[in-house]
Structure 1
C-alpha cells in the first residue's frame, strides 16, 4: 500500500463518521449505468459531479466505493486505494475540477465485477462534511474465448492478458481430465509452454495432433482468464482447398471430350435446320 500522510488517513476514514445525510436521497434513485470489459483491459466508470452539484466544491474530494468497502479516494494530492486495486485505479486529477470524476480501472479482473458508487465530499453549513452521491455503475468483466486451428509442426501462442494469470490447464479432446501445463511460479522450469521474456504470452512449439484440445488460462483464484479451443489439422487449409478444387476441376481430356461432343451436337442441329428450310 502506498505511503500516505496523516491528513490522508483522516479523509480516508472520514466517510465512517460524516455528519449529515446523503444529498439527493439515495443512490437507488439514479439510473444505473452498465460497463462491460474483458480481463486485462481498461474499464472507465463514468461520473460527472456537475449533474448533482450546482456549484463547484472549494476542494475536490472524490470517493468511489462498492457496497462492501471503499475502492478509491482522492482529496487534492492525497490519494488512497484499496489493497486489491493497488496500482490499478485512478481519477484523472486534471479533469476532476471540470466535473469529470470517472474512475479508471486498469488490468480489470473477473473479481472486479460488481456495483460501484461515486461520491463527492463537500463542506456543510457548519464545520461538517457531507457525502453527495453522484453515480452508480455496474461493471461486468468477462473472460476471452477463441477457436484456433493449426497444422502439425506449427506453433501455438497463448495470450495471458494479465499479470494475474497464474496457470494454464489443458483438457485433451478425448478426455475429461485437466492437466497443468504451465505455472507462473515455475515459469523458468521444464515446461512445454514457454513464456515470452517481455510480454504476457506463452508459446508451444512443434504442435502434434495430441495437442488438440482446450487450453484454459486461470488466475490465482482459479477463475478463467481465457479459453482457447485448439484444432490440429493433419493437412493444411491450402492443401485441402487445392484438393477440393482438384476434385471439381475437369481434366484436359474431359474438357476436350466435352468440347468435341458440343461441336458435333451443334453441327447436327445446324444440318437439321438447313434441311427443314429446303
Structure 2
C-alpha cells in the first residue's frame, strides 16, 4: 500500500507539472498567417481580434513578437517597444478593450518583413497563461511609376520615407548610375530642389530620359520612376485669309452696241466730203 501511495503521489505531481506547462504555454496552435503587403514608407495594420479567443479578462495585456524578438508589449498604461520599432508601433487602447488588438506599424521599412504573432497574457489568481491570437506575414514592396513630361518641365520625385538617402539616375542608353541627390548634402546639379519628402528636377532636357531611383540607407529601392521627355510641339503659323477679289468685266449689251454705232456715224460724216473730192 505504501509503495502504491508513493507511486500515485509521483504520478499526480507529474500530471500537475504538465498542466502548469500547458497553462503557461499558448492555449492554441498557430493558425495560417494572414498575408499583408505594404509599400515602403506607408502605414501597415497587422490584424488581431482577441474576443474570439477570450472573454472577460481582468487586464488587457497584449504582446506582438517575431521569431527573433518581442516587438511591442502593452499592459494597461504600460508600453514597451523594441529599439528598431521605437515610435513606429501602437495598439490603440480604446480599440483594445473592444477586442481589437491590431498592431499599427508606421513608416514601414524593408527590414520589417517577416512573421508577426500576437498573444494575450491572462493573469487570474495564481494561474498565468499566454493565449495565441493571430499570426501575420508582412511583405514590403517599393513604389513604381512611369511619367511622360515635356522639355522644360519639372520632375517631382517623392521620397516616401525619412529613411530615403539618395536619388540616382540611369540614362536610357547607359549602364552607369549618376548620383543626383544625397540627404544632407548640397545639390550637385544646380537644378534640384529639396522639399519635405520631395526632390524636384527642374528644366527637363531630352537627355533626362531614363530611370530615377530613390534609395534607402541600405541601398534598397524605395521608388522607381521611368521618365520619358517629349519635345515641345512646333507652333503652326496661320496665314491670314483675305477675301478673293474678282475682276468684274463690263457687260456687253445694247448700250455698248449703241455707243459703237454713234462713233461710226460721226466718222462717216467727217470724212465723206474728203472722199467725194478724191473721187
The within-5 A match list for 1:1-278 is 20-24=24-28, 26-27=29-30, 30-53=31-54, 55-124=55-124, 126=126, 128-186=127-185, 188-191=186-189, 192-196=191-195, 199-236=196-233
Structure 1's 121 and 212: CA in aligned 2 closer, same or farther, altered over 3 A?
same
Shift of 1:193: 2.6
Residue by residue, what CA displacement relative to the aligned partner does 1:192-248 show, whole Å, maximum 9, x if unpaired? Answer: 43211xx21110110111211100001111111000011111235xx79x9xxxxxx
SS at match of 1:210: helix
SS at match of 2:111: helix
Shift of 1:124: 5.0
Residue by residue, what CA displacement relative to the aligned partner does 1:84-114 show, whole Å, maximum 9, x if unpaired? Answer: 1111110000111111000011111122121
Shift of 1:167: 0.9
Paired with 1:76 and 1:213, the residues of 2 have a C-alpha distance of: 53
Structure 1's 223 and 125: CA in aligned 2 closer, same or farther, altered over 3 A?
same
Shift of 1:139: 1.2
Shift of 1:125: 5.7
| Structure 1, unpaired ranges of 5+ | 1-16, 243-278
Q: How many residues align?
A: 215
Paired with 1:51 and 1:185, the residues of 2 have a C-alpha distance of: 50
Paired with 2:68 and 2:153, the residues of 1 have a C-alpha distance of: 48
| Structure 2, unpaired ranges of 5+ | 1-20, 237-279
Structure 1's 150 and 189: CA in aligned 2 closer, same or farther, altered over 3 A?
closer
Q: Judge conservation of contact 1:18–1:131 (CA < 8 Å) in 2.
A: no
TM-score, with normalisation over the residues of structure 1? Answer: 0.73
SS at match of 2:74: strand
Shift of 1:56: 2.5
Q: Judge conservation of contact 2:27–2:130 (CA < 8 Å) in 1.
A: yes
RMSD (CA atoms): 2.1
Please say which structure displays the higher CA radius of gyration.
2
Structure 1 segments of 4+ aligned residues over 4 angstroms from their partners: none
Q: Judge conservation of contact 1:18–1:129 (CA < 8 Å) in 2.
A: no
Residue by residue, what CA displacement relative to the aligned partner does 1:146-203 show, whole Å, maximum 9, x if unpaired? Answer: 01111111111000011111111111111111121111131x444443211xx21110
Q: Judge conservation of contact 2:38–2:139 (CA < 8 Å) in 1.
A: yes
SS at match of 1:157: strand
Q: Judge conservation of contact 2:181–2:188 (CA < 8 Å) in 1.
A: no
